[in-house]
Amino acid sequence: MDRYRRRSAIDRLAKAACVAAVLLALVPLASLLAYVAAKGVSGLSLSFFTGLPKPVGEPDGGMVNAVTGTLVLVGLACLFGVPPGVMAGIYLAEFGDNRFGKAVRFSADVLSGVPSIVVGIFVYTLLVLWMRGFSALAGGVALGIIMLPTVTRTTEELVRMVPDSLREAALALGVPRWKAIVRVVLRTAAPGILTGLMLAVARVAGETAPLLFTAFNNRFWSIDLSQPMASMPVQIFTYAVSPYEEWHRQAWAAALVLVAMVLALNAGARLLLHRRAPR
């Protein structure tokens, strides 16, 4: 009896410690969100979403170009980063127990450790100089390269986590290996892979440094991929370092919108997957 009481006391203590740790970890997150929201709300208005950047003093300045620019750039990044990343991840998990697989895994790890600004310079010398100018395309490539290793390694992890018994179940039904991988293994790993993709997207959506060398910035409305393109992080950077109060307010609003976009994307993807899964 005495032992039992001691054990449950320890149990309660451990539980309390865990809860405290969780709360502690939530403090920075919650305060960040609250701060961004508080600072950003005042800058939000219809013109923020419809107007173009205006010189200080002129009313109705906005960021419609930067909002769409970020969407386009992130879309391009997914186009360049996700398919090769997911396929490389599948390769590593399903067929990668050899020298080549090891080499790929190692390079992915090295690549994920490369500072994003270095990727920016790399794409600058490779693409921007060659195309003789900054372009949205170059920005998308740079962001895609940054996504690639994360996508590869998370996909590998999650595909590996699918139990072999499911692969065997499919194979024993006379399903060819590739189909078993696509229809059963990938499908089972999909929620996790999607979460990984969302994290990669979230990370890339906030990247600023590599865009300075590639997509640069654009004060005008443009969705031409061969031209410079505005993006929210770069715009936030530009406005935040300016001395003008009005631009500061817009920078905060942009930060809020950026966070909200990432959250919405995340929630949307989860919802989509949740709907489709039987329970």
Partner 1 sequence: MMFLGGPRREDPAQGREAAPRSAPAQAVEKLRAEGLKAWFGATLALKGISLGMKERRVTAIIGPSGCGKSTFLRCLNRMHEVAAGARAEGRVLLDGVDIYGRGVDPVQVRRRVGMVFQKPNPFPTMSIRDNVLAGAKLNGVRLREEDALFEKALRRAALWEEVKDVLARSGASLSGGQQQRLCSARALALDPEVLLMDEPCSALDPIATARVEELIHELAERLTIVIVTHNMQQAARVSHYTAFLYLGELVEYDETDVLFTKPQNPRTEEYITGRFG
Task: Give the residues lining the site for partner 1 (CB under 8 A).
Answer: 97, 163-176, 179-180, 183-184, 187-188, 190, 277-279
Q: Cβ of 67: how many Cβ atoms within 10 Å?
A: 21
User: CB of 157: closest distance to partner 1 in angstroms?
Assistant: 18
Task: Give whichever of 97 and 109 is closer to partner 1, judged by the CB atom.
Answer: 97
Contact 226, 137 (CB under 8 A): yes
User: CB of 92: closest distance to partner 1 in angstroms?
Assistant: 15
Contact 148, 92 (CB under 8 A): no
SS3 content of the chain, % helix, strand, coil (to 5): 80, 0, 20
Task: Give whichever of 75 and 176 is closer to partner 1, judged by the CB atom.
Answer: 176
Handedness of CA 173, 174, 178, 183 (dihedral sign): negative
User: CB of 273: closest distance to partner 1 in angstroms?
Assistant: 10
Task: Give whichever of 117 and 170 is closer to partner 1, judged by the CB atom.
Answer: 170
User: CB of 8: closest distance to partner 1 in angstroms?
Assistant: 32
The residues near 227 (Cβ < 8 Å, ≥ 6 apart) are: 133, 134, 135, 136, 218
Task: Give whichever of 145 and 197 is closer to partner 1, judged by the CB atom.
Answer: 197
C-alpha–C-alpha distance, residues 236 and 238, integer Å: 6
User: CB of 46: closest distance to partner 1 in angstroms?
Assistant: 43
User: CB of 176: closest distance to partner 1 in angstroms?
Assistant: 5
User: CB of 275: closest distance to partner 1 in angstroms?
Assistant: 13
Task: Give whichever of 5 and 279 is closer to partner 1, judged by the CB atom.
Answer: 279
Name the CA dihedral angle for 135, 137, 142, 146, rounded to a multiple of 10 degrees.
150
Task: Give whichever of 119 and 184 is closer to partner 1, judged by the CB atom.
Answer: 184
Query: For residue 235, what are its two tokens?
Result: 């715009």
Contact 247, 222 (CB under 8 A): no
Contact 39, 32 (CB under 8 A): no
C-alpha–C-alpha distance, residues 16 and 64, integer Å: 47
C-alpha–C-alpha distance, residues 116 and 206, integer Å: 11
